[in-house]
Amino acid sequence: MAERKSFLMRIDPELWAQLEAWAQDDLRSVNGQIEFLLRQAVLKRKGQTAEARQGSGTKTDIPGDTIVDPPE
């Protein structure tokens, strides 16, 4: 597994609770959810939305990220 950078983050408790609930809905840890959201924001900023690349099953230029088809 690729090495990861650790850092501390201060976050509003209400926002944390919302992220925690969202992460549970998506079957992720809060850390995984935050990382997922940050990756999506980077793709959007670069003009590569997940919708435009969805279904390609190819890796993005973000380490560890692959767009796959959703289950039917």
Structural domain boundaries in the chain: 12-72
The per-residue pLDDT for 69 is 47
Q: pLDDT tens digits for 12-51?
A: 999 999 999 999 999 999 999 999 999 999 999 888 655 5
How many Cα atoms occupy the beta-carbon half-sphere of 12 within 13 Å?
A: 3
Could you tell me which residues come within 8 angstroms of residue 56 by beta carbon, excluding any fewer than 6 positions away?
67
Structure-block tokens of residue 47:
């003009």
Give the whole-angstrom CA distance, residue 63 versus residue 54. Answer: 17
Could you tell me which residues come within 8 angstroms of residue 19 by beta carbon, excluding any fewer than 6 positions away?
11, 30, 33, 34
- Mean of pLDDT values over 42-63: 66
pTM of the model: 0.60
Q: Is the Cβ–Cβ distance between 60 and 43 less than 8 Å?
A: yes
